[in-house]
């Protein structure tokens, strides 16, 4: 167990920047979990006297046009960020993986399904998300659904290409030669081997979901305005950009930082999965 | 066909439909191949790249769907079976593959790979029974039962190929189709695996179809050998006879071309065979005609049928 | 002509360097074919890459030893530096010709490219010279084949093209790394006789690397057997095949399938070759050797002379005839 953990942490030692990304993500997760303990303010409590304050010792990130504490709202906003990210990744995996795997195992239907996925990919991501919101209506769930549909194309395509390669592997052939049914091949041979590439892909989808959700919020099509989310904060404060630039700086920084960190962690995960392959090569030939 | 015959193949034909440069070709990978296999016998299929030897093995259990022919096993024609009956046949006719690195799922433990056929067909009474049978099978192929918990990447090439063989032995089949089982291994390991196959044949009375491009290996362990050239069996017979007195000009050339590990037996010049013809556009007549020093007249027009030349040795050549 | 002295190639990424080859030494004379035999991972290909100056020097490098071509040291020269210094007398061909040829370039252009690199663009009528090279390696319709793309040729023809490209720089030494392993036996026989012929005609030396003892017997004048990064036995081909003295060499012979001796069971070498991470002090073959004594388990094993030109790294060389 400890060994497994150590092997996952190893690429982070080599990539200092990814280690930084991992720390940022852990901080975001911790702040989402312990939001009420991190700040004595209420994210929704208005305080008209103290509106548009610049950062001070009490209000670390200043206050907004209703006098709400920006730091507190950033901390609570991380909950929404994680919810959207998890939701979108979950949706993209739950739909994309079956589409990809089934398309490989049943090529006739599969060709049709993959062409449909290609069609979805032809739309610009944001445009399609907006279109879906228009159909589904505004709200957090619908934002997750809309972004999920956009990004299921990525998971489906990746699943499809990896499964296609796996299907040609000798061990799949061996299974078939012993009388295995399609379901057996899918559950024992294909899906387990998809875990690593999908893990990496998931981290990138998570990052894109952050950006997508922020954009939807900014356009007023995502989370309702009373919920503190980083995108909403940007949208509400945009008219104060000259008077109180910190109102945009801090949520903007969090969006960029989180997405960037996720990408860095994704890179490191990819490293973790590559060396294992290299180790295998080493034991195979004795050559590095 | 004797009473000891376990598998009888007659007129097996497998065609691949391929597209090259916008032209459709019907590639005859296996063309009218007939042979029989006795209990406890090792029958070798030997030939060069693309001669169809692998496709013969795969066609027998319908991994590649043949176009015609009859494969008799256990009183049935396998080629007519589908669904559950076909899956049951696949339990009794098992395959061992060439590449011990690619043939094991890297994410599954050795135990799961070895027990796969049993799991698929729900043959184990209890988890204890499963473990017991896995341990027994591993011992059979000369591996310590403790290997069960390992993953393929922790094993060497030779050990992996032993696992590949173990996977084909649970439950014990009647026939093993071994497709180039030692080609990816070093000589010292290759000999270990060959001895293991010989030993298993003796202990379990297995019939083995041994497919290889390596004539020395086939000559060493097989009882009978079938030589294939461009989809056809050109010669089939007892290994010793075939090796010492090859009939077909192609068999002769093949045996001659094997580099002998003896510096005093060097291949002289002037035996150049040239390149094999394109498999896409075969000319009429004997497929070997344009490389054959004896080819003339009838060889260029008629396909030679395989016929008994002496005792049990059969060859497909007009000149015999 | 080519002299390799105590060549040690190591993986240098870890804290302590891991040796892939240890103290590999041999001489290669004009017009001679030296066969290097060994199983996968024994370091034979790394030795070849080190001689060519093709090691990825940041991860794997020559840690000690020298490579001399005509008494000039070339150990640490990059291939382009060798061209500049006029020491480009070594060419190499590989196992899989398809991966060494550019798939989107006509083979004529690829040969011309090789010609121009070595003549630094001074050559007149390179196309005619390219055709001559294809004739030299017996490619029929050479003029037409110059326009062919690699995928239009068979494996044997591609290997001939690779040899033609290797000959473009008029090499004194040709290193052939398993050049026939991917080919069918009938084609292999032709490539082998081509190499033999070129070696005689151009009085070129050939370093022939293979795992196949049969191929070595067919082609080589002298043979070196490698095991776990070391040469363990060197002799003329007749002597080595007649009277191998190292237990490993002997073991290799006794596990060769031989259809003329079907009744005699194969005698495999027990166990398996060590990984480079597992090599310990003493003789690397000792764990698999039935003649080992305590002396074999420590220190380095020095050469023992058997007869003129026949030597082995073994404390207990075999005496009886094979």
Identify all chain C residues contacting B265, using CB atoms and an 8 Å cutoff: 217
Q: Which of A163, A173, A177, A274 is most worth mutating to test chain B (most B CB atoms within 10 A of its CB)?
A: A177
Please tell me which of the candidates B90, B107, B167 has its beta carbon nearest to residue A179: B90
Q: What is the DSSP letter of A227?
A: S
Whether residue A256 is predicted with pLDDT greater than 80 in this model: the reply is yes
Which domains are present in chain C?
2-96+176-220 (3.40.50.300)
A287, burial (CB in 10 Å: exposed 0-12, middle 13-18, buried 19+): middle
Mean pLDDT is lowest, of A3-7, A175-179, B71-75, C203-207, for A3-7
With contact defined as beta carbons under 8 Å apart, do C109 and C116 qualify? no
Strands of the sheet containing C18-28, edge to edge, are C18-28, C2-11, C60-69, C72-73
Whether B120 contacts chain C with CB within 8 A: no
Please tell me which of the candidates A170, A177, A188 has its beta carbon nearest to residue B94: A177
- What confidence score (pLDDT) does residue A275 get? 46
Q: How far apart are CA C53 and CA C51, in angstroms?
A: 5
Identify all chain B residues contacting A283, using CB atoms and an 8 Å cutoff: 153-154, 156
- What confidence score (pLDDT) does residue B62 get? 93
With contact defined as beta carbons under 8 Å apart, do B63 and A177 qualify? yes
* CA atoms lying within 13 Å on the CB side of residue C269: 24
In tens, the pLDDT along B45-61 reads 999 888 999 999 999 99
Whether B238 contacts chain C with CB within 8 A: no
Task: Please give the ipTM for the structure prediction.
Answer: 0.86
Whether C194 contacts chain B with CB within 8 A: no
Which domains are present in chain B?
5-262+271-281 (3.40.50.300)
Instruction: Please tell me the distance in Å from B98's CA to the nearest CA on chain A.
Output: 9
> How many residues are listed for chain B in this entry?
320
Mean pLDDT score, A203-222: 86
Identify all chain A residues contacting C11, using CB atoms and an 8 Å cutoff: 288
Summary mean pLDDT of chain A: 85
- What confidence score (pLDDT) does residue C121 get? 63
In tens, the pLDDT along C51-105 reads 998 888 888 999 999 999 988 899 888 888 888 887 778 999 988 777 788 889 9
List residues of chain C with CB under 8 Å from any CB of chain A. Answer: 11, 13, 20, 40-42, 45-46, 59-60, 273, 275-276
> How many residues are listed for chain C in this entry?
322
Whether residue B180 is predicted with pLDDT greater than 50 in this model: the reply is yes
Whether residue A276 is predicted with pLDDT greater than 50 in this model: the reply is no
pLDDT band, very low/low/confident/very high, at B272 (cuts 50, 70, 90): low
Mean pLDDT score, B308-320: 87
- What confidence score (pLDDT) does residue B4 get? 86
Mean pLDDT score, A136-164: 92
Report which of residues C209 and A288 the model is more confident about.
Answer: C209
Which domains are present in chain A?
2-285 (1.10.3720.10)
Mean pLDDT score, A67-81: 88
* CA atoms lying within 13 Å on the CB side of residue B59: 28
With contact defined as beta carbons under 8 Å apart, do A110 and A265 qualify? no
Instruction: Please tell me the distance in Å from A162's CA to the nearest CA on chain C.
Output: 23
Instruction: Indicate yes or no: CB of C41 within 8 angstroms of CB of A283.
Output: no
The pLDDT > 70 percentage for chain A reads 94
Instruction: Indicate yes or no: CB of C276 within 8 angstroms of CB of A285.
Output: no
Please tell me which of the candidates C40, C59, C60 has its beta carbon nearest to residue A285: C40
Mean pLDDT is lowest, of A92-101, B294-303, C35-44, for B294-303
CA angle, residues B124, B130, B136, in degrees to nearest 5: 120
Mean pLDDT is lowest, of A196-205, B268-277, C72-81, C280-289, for B268-277
Whether residue A186 is predicted with pLDDT greater than 60 in this model: the reply is yes
Instruction: Indicate yes or no: CB of A286 within 8 angstroms of CB of C45.
Output: no
Q: Which of B78, B153, B172, B173 is most worth mutating to test chain A (most A CB atoms within 10 A of its CB)?
A: B153
Chains that touch A (3 or more CB pairs under 8 A): B, C
Q: How far apart are CA C140 and CA C229, in angstroms?
A: 41
Mean pLDDT is lowest, of A152-156, B165-169, C6-10, C277-281, for C277-281
In tens, the pLDDT along C107-154 reads 999 999 888 887 766 667 888 889 999 999 988 888 888 999 988 888
In tens, the pLDDT along C192-249 reads 989 999 999 998 999 999 999 999 999 999 999 999 999 999 999 999 999 999 999 9
Whether residue C12 is predicted with pLDDT greater than 60 in this model: the reply is yes
């Amino acid at each position: 167990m400890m060994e497994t953990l150590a092997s996952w942490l190893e690429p982070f030692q080599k990539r200092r920047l990814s280690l930084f990304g991992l720390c940022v993500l852990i901080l975001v997760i911790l702040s989402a979990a312990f939001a009420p303990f991190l700040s004595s303010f209420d994210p929704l409590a208005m305080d008209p006297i103290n509106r548009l304050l610049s950062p001070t010792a009490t209000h670390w990130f200043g206050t907004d046009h209703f006098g709400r504490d920006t730091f507190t709202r950033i901390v609570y906003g991380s909950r929404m960020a994680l919810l959207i990210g998890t939701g979108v990744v979950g949706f993209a995996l739950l739909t994309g993986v079956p589409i990809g795997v089934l398309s490989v195992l049943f090529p006739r239907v599969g060709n049709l399904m993959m062409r449909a996925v290609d069609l979805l990919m032809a739309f610009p991501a944001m445009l399609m998300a907006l279109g879906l919101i228009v159909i589904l209506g505004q709200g957090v769930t619908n934002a997750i659904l809309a972004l999920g549909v956009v990004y299921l194309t990525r998971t489906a395509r990746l699943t499809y290409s990896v499964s296609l390669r796996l299907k040609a592997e000798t061990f799949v052939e061996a299974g078939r030669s012993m009388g295995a049914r399609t379901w057996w091949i899918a559950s024992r041979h294909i899906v387990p081997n998809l875990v690593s590439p999908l893990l990496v892909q998931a981290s990138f989808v998570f990052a894109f979901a952050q950006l997508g959700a922020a954009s939807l919020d900014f356009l007023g099509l995502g989370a309702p305005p009373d919920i503190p989310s980083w995108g909403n904060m940007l949208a509400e404060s945009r008219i104060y950009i000259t008077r109180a630039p910190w109102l945009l700086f801090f949520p903007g920084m969090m969006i960029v930082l989180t997405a960037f960190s996720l990408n860095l962690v994704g890179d490191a995960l990819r490293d973790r999965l590559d060396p294992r392959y290299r180790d295998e090569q080493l034991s195979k030939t004795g050559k590095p | 066909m004797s009473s000891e015959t376990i598998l009888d193949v007659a007129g097996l034909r497998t065609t691949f439909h391929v597209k090259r440069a916008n032209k459709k070709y019907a590639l005859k990978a296996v063309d009218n191949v007939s042979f029989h296999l006795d209990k406890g016998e090792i029958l070798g299929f030997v030939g060069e790249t693309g001669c169809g030897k692998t496709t013969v093995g795969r066609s027998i259990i319908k991994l590649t769907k043949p176009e015609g022919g009859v494969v008799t096993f256990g009183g049935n024609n396998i080629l007519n079976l589908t669904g559950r009956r076909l899956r049951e046949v696949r339990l009794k006719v098992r395959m061992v593959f060439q590449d011990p690195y690619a043939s094991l799922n890297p994410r599954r433990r050795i135990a799961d790979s070895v027990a796969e056929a049993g799991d698929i067909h729900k043959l184990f009474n209890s988890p204890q029974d499963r473990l017991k049978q896995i341990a027994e099978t591993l011992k059979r192929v000369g591996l310590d039962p403790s290997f069960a918990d390992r993953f393929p990447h922790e094993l060497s090439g030779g050990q992996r190929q032993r696992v590949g063989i173990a996977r084909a032995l649970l439950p014990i089949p009647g026939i093993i189709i071994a497709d180039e089982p030692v080609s990816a291994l070093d000589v010292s390991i290759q000999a270990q695996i060959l001895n293991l196959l010989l030993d298993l044949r003796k202990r379990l009375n297995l019939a083995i179809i041994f497919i290889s491009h390596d004539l020395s290996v086939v000559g060493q362990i097989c009882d009978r050998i079938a030589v294939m050239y461009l989809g056809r069996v050109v010669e089939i017979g007892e290994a010793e006879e075939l090796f010492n007195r090859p009939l077909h000009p192609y068999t002769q050339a093949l045996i001659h071309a094997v580099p002998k590990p003896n510096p005093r037996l060097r291949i002289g010049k002037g035996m150049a065979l040239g390149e094999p013809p394109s498999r896409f556009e075969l000319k009429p007549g004997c497929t070997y005609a344009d490389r054959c020093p004896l080819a003339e007249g009838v060889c260029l027009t008629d396909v030679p049928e395989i016929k008994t030349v002496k005792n049990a040795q059969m060859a497909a050549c007009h000149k015999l | 002509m080519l002299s390799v002295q105590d060549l040690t190639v190591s993986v240098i990424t870890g804290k302590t360097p891991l040796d892939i080859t240890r103290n590999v030494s041999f001489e290669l004379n004009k017009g001679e074919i030296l066969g290097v035999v060994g199983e996968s991972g024994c370091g034979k290909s790394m030795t070849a890459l080190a001689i060519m100056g093709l090691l990825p020097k940041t991860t794997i490098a020559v840690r000690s030893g020298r490579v001399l071509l005509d008494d000039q040291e070339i150990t640490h020269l990059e291939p382009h530096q060798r061209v500049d210094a006029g020491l480009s007398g070594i060419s190499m061909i590989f196992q899989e010709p398809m991966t060494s040829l550019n798939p989107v370039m006509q083979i004529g252009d690829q040969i011309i490219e090789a010609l121009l690199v070595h003549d630094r663009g001074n050559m007149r009528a390179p196309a005619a010279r390219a055709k001559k090279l294809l004739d030299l390696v017996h490619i029929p319709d050479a003029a037409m084949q110059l326009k062919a793309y690699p995928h239009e040729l068979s494996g044997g023809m591609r290997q001939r093209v690779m040899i033609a490209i290797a000959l473009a720089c008029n090499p004194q030494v040709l290193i052939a790394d398993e050049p026939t392993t991917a080919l069918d036996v009938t084609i292999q026989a032709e490539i082998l006789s081509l190499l033999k012929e070129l070696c005689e005609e151009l009085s070129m030396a050939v370093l022939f690397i293979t795992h196949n003892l049969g191929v070595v017997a067919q082609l080589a004048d002298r043979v070196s057997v490698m095991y776990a990064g070391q040469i363990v036995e060197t002799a003329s081909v007749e002597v080595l095949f007649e009277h191998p003295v190292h237990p490993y060499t002997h073991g290799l012979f006794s596990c060769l399938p031989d259809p003329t001796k079907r009744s005699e069971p194969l005698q495999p070498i027990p166990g398996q070759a060590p990984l480079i991470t597992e090599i310990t002090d003493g003789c690397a073959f000792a764990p698999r050797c039935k003649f080992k004594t305590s002396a074999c388990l420590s220190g380095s094993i020095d050469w023992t002379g058997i007869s003129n030109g026949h030597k082995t790294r073994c404390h207990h060389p075999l005496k009886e005839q094979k």
